[in-house]
Chain A
Amino acid sequence: MNGREPLLLNGEKIMQPHLKRAFTLLALVIIAFIFVRSLVVPQSFGQYGWYRGDSVNEIKNFQVEYAGSAACGEENCHKTIYSVWAKDRHKTVNCETCHGPSEEHVGNVRIMPPPANDSRDYCGLCHFKRAARPANFPQIDPETHGENLKCTYCHNPHKPWFI
């Protein structure tokens, strides 16, 4: 190839062979990108918007896990504790927030929901002191408050100020 005159085609000079190779390589890389993209991007992408269209159906078919607080108070099952909870400060915290998902339990009372989460850290998600929390929101410093006992040792979670 060394020293060979560039070929002539209709008076136009043909591209140098090494440049031709470079641009072919570049074209191959771009084609490979497009090919991989066509394999990787799901078929239903963009069907409704900038997401995988099939995901709508998949999410719709998820099994329902939460029954909602009302389901606990209905049918005379947990009526007493429900009425205590519903009148007190924790009424905005749903039953299943601590007691876990209970849809199965509502359908069949023999299937028990997981035991309630009453760890210190779990209460602390809301009640450990954070600068970003409103000053009048009940917050404690876990280092100094409660001697590392479980919160429920003193506080009744259904009626928080009842110590």
Chain B
Amino acid sequence: MMENLIWGYVYPNEAEIQWSILIVLYPYITGLVAGAFIASSLYHVFGKKEIKPVARFALLTALSFLLVATMPLLTHLGRPERGIEIMFTPHVTSAMSGFGYIYSFYLIVVVLEIWLSFREDIVKNALNSRGWKELLYSALALFSYDISEKALHDDEKLAKRLAIIGIPSAAFLHGYVGFIFGGIKANPWWSTPLMPLIFLMSAIVSGIALLILLYIIAMKLRKHAIDHKCLHSLAHYLWIFLILDVTLEMLEIISMKYESLEEIEIINRLLSDKIATTFYGVQLTMGIFIPFVLLLLVGMIKNRETLKMIMISISSVFVLIGVFAMRWNVVIGGQEISKSLSGTLTYVPVFFSKEGVLPAIVILTIPFIILIVVTYILPPWKDMEEEPERNPDK
């Protein structure tokens, strides 16, 4: 059976593919965090008022996914209690050991940002409720109930500064994931300095797409009208970042093909055989081309809000699937070519196992559960449900 999975000359220790679907999930989840945070900073830093309805919701989304970002790695490696040791004794020459610190720093920034933007609600809740609720919200308010205009103004100022720090940290958090792959010189499919940028752009794309979907779903569940201005603005940014993303991805492939270094033969085989469907079909056509056209049409069509909303939703779903395929093509594709550069291997996902599809699905479900809990404690609906349309003809 194994013979069918191998073509050409491969080294013995490569026969089993070590980085499984969980390692595909890791950059995917980290990307969603970075993307959601950057979407929220469009409002917090760049003052894009039309994003306001989802700005705080985006922060909560970022937090929910950030809390599970390390989970695929820890599940893959086993012995999660040893994970902290990478922070206790980080090695200076290890890119991986920086992650613990970047992650923690980013977590602090996101938590502080959320705390500052929800503080007014927290204090009001603490003052207006009794029992365990009062205790919870008082603790969240750190037993300090000053919501005078001056205090809130100071909060806003600090929140803006934090968001300014947050953007480079989000970029760093995810660019670093790309760097880990881009820095592996033995693998021609990974080794490129463009990798951090490619990862970052696809992260932003997937984060915005997730935010759009969650926003639409939340509004449908709460039976509230969708703010189309906000939705279109998000779709617009999705479209712009989609262009940047595809430019970088194509640039890498084109320069690889044009240079035609010795690894080109195996890369061609990878692209035309091993990952042809997931690369051309899912990543490029479904994940980029179709959403690109749909979002372009959304920008051109006048009125017909329901149609546009459906088109935006389809684009977002396709983008999310496409970005997952992109992670798959990088992580799995890179391992399907042998270090000999003259043979290929095949990854066969299993369902029930520590490295299987089931734990991947479980891990991908957890952030949504966290999001439900967090939005229950800190409801962001107020800004989403403010009367969105001031001029009714729009």
Contact = CB atoms under 8 A, between A and B. Distances in A.
Nearest to B115: A22
A157 B87 CA distance: 50
Interface of B is mostly: helix
B15 A131 contact: yes
Nearest to A23: B112
Interface stretch (B139-147, B266-274, B322-330): B139-147
Given A2-B148, A45-B89, A131 B3 contact: yes
Contact of A131 (B6, B119, B141, B158): B6
B296 interface: no
A2 B146 contact: yes
Interface stretch (A13-21, A53-61, A76-84): A13-21
B108 A40 contact: no
Interface residues of A, number: 24
A131 B11 CA distance: 10
A16 B91 CA distance: 38
B154 A16 contact: yes
Contact of A2 (B88, B112, B145): B145
B243 to A, nearest CB: 39
Interface string A12-37: 00001111011001100000010001
A17 to B, nearest CB: 5
A25 B142 contact: yes
A18 B108 contact: no
Contacts of B377: none
Contacts of A37: 87-88
B146 A1 contact: yes
Nearest to B151: A16
Interface of A is mostly: loop
Contact of A19 (B5, B11, B91, B154): B154
Nearest to A50: B91
Interface string B108-147: 1000100100010000000000000000000001111111
B2 interface: yes
Which of B15, B144, B155 neighbours the largest number of chain A CB atoms within 10 Å of its CB?
B144
Nearest to A40: B88
A22 B112 contact: yes
A72 B49 CA distance: 84
B146 A132 contact: no
Interface in B37-90: 87-89
Interface in B1-52: 2-3, 5-6, 10-15
B150 A6 contact: yes
A150 interface: no
Contacts of A46: 89
Given A2-B148, A26-B108, A132-B15, A18 B142 contact: yes
A89 interface: no
Interface of A: 1-4, 6, 16-19, 21-22, 25-26, 33, 37, 40-41, 45-46, 50, 130-133
